Every structure is written in structure tokens, then in C-alpha cells.
Amino acid sequence: CDAAGGAFAANPAGRGPRGRGLCRSSSMYVPIHNPPRFAPTTPSLPSILICRRDRALETRRRIPAQSSVLVRWNISHLAHKLGLDIVHYHCLTVTGHALPESDIAPAPAISPLAIPIRLRGSLSQYLSLYPSHTRLAIGDLKRWTKNAASSVDMSFFKPKAGGWGMKLTFHTIAAWAYPQFPLPKGIHRKKVVAVLLRARAAKPAMVRILIFIPGLSNYGTLLSPILAADGKWHTVIIPLSRFTPMGKGAPLESLANARFLSVGLNNGAAGANELEVSKLYLIDKR
């Protein structure tokens, strides 16, 4: 994502914290680029600040014009130092201060860039934090309805890890596949605040969740993929606040009128891909 002022850009490259306790990877890497919008002789001096409320650790790096640096944080250390948890989002803020080209010309202003991050926990950790939840019977393949672009071949299967999976063949680029699973009756849909799943995508793709509400706007995790499509298993919790309307519509406040839920993907290239979901839960308010 780019800074609002266009002065520098940051791209979080880590897949989420891991390690002891709440963490799942020991490091988070953030490439920061100083694009050539300033003259090549104008360096910038950004300060990279990771913070939660009034507690902060700070790293300063000098980035000459038209160059990049890679900043690394030990997430296990930060999680312990700052008291980060797996429930709330925390703010990774990048601020920059450009050096003036001369004693007369003022230094250009740089808008700050804020990146929301949240530590990832294990499935058992999430379920212990949210004891009221409903596990969906996704292993019943007959309950799934195919829903994909006409250029996509789709078939369902039962993965070795259990749950549900689909094999896909994309004959064109920019195609999609979002099979629908009916939400069960008898659950308190108004109490649902998040969706929890353990899933993996075999090859690169934009993995998303959609929610279908008849007569109203459908919703989806449209702003970003829910997990890294790298062939590895990921456990992810998605609050309803992350679902945005597909077109005009009010924010998604509950699943009271929802009929179907879909876990699917948009492909980045033609060819075969697979998506597996071993477990899928609706999480109630704590």
C-alpha cells in the first residue's frame, strides 16, 4: 500500500507472528521504498514506529532517494514487550522526514502510513477465547453448490485433513470460483461476530470469503485476501467488520438475513489450483 502523500511505500511481507505463546513466526519483514518523486540528491529519513496505545518500540533507518531498505522486527519479542494479543488489531506506523535539498528550500512533507496488523493464534487458542461457536458441517459435500465463472472447471473432494476441498482448472485469467454453503437453521445468527477457519490454497490466488443475503447486498472480504496462498495451512479469524458490501449497501452488522457462505478465490493465472478447508466456525460474541 502507498502512503497517502505518495512519499514512500511499505509492503508487509510477513505472514503473521509465530513462535512461543501467541506468535507463529519469529520475524516480520517490511520492505520500505523511497520512490523517485524527490530529486535523486534528496534523501529521506523515515522513522519506523510500531506501537500499541502509548507503548512503542522505534527503529530508524535512512533511505536515500530511489532506494529501499528491509526492516525486520522480532515479533516474539514485540508481542511480549508490547502486550500484543491475537484478538485486536494493532497499528504499525511508518513516518518519514525528508531532508531539504538546500538551506533555502523547505523539506517536502511526508504523510504517515499506518498498517493494521494482528497476531495469529492456533485454532485451539481461538476456540478457547470464544467458547460459544458453531462448527459448520462442511464435510458433507452434497451441501455445497457450485458457483464459478464459465471458464472454470470445478469439483469437490474430501481432503486428508478432513473438511472440504475443491479442485479447479482455470482456462482464462481473472476468473473466480466461490461455491456456496447454506448456513444452518437453528443458530443465533445475530450473535455471530466472526468467521474462523483453517484452510490452505495450493497455488497463488486471492482467497476470500463471501456472504450472500437474498434481497440485499452481498458481502465479502474484498479489500485483501484472508490468507497467504502458499500451499501451507493457515488459521484465520475474520470479524464481520472486515466484510464490505459488493456494491451499494450498509455495513454488515450481523448474519441475521444471511443464507449462504462461500470460501473461494480469484485466480491470478490460468491453470490448476486447489483450495482446502479443514474446519469452519461461526464465532459468537464473547
Q: Which residue has the higher pLDDT, 211 or 34?
A: 211
Angle at 211 between CA 206 and CA 216, to 5 degrees: 130
Q: What is the mean pLDDT of residues 18-39?
A: 50
**Are 100 and 73 contacting, i.e. CB atoms less than 8 angstroms apart?**
no
Among 46-50, 64-68, 137-141, whose mean pLDDT is lowest?
Answer: 46-50
Cell for 69? 531498505
**Pairing relationship of beta strands 27-34 and 9-10 according to DSSP bridges:** antiparallel
- pLDDT tens digit string along 108-120? 667 777 777 778 8
Q: Which residue has the higher pLDDT, 216 or 279?
A: 279
CA distance 240 to 144: 22
28 pLDDT more than 90 = no
- In this prediction the pTM is 0.74
- pLDDT tens digit string along 125-160? 999 999 999 999 999 999 999 999 999 999 999 999
pLDDT band at 96 (very low <50, low <70, confident <90, very high): confident
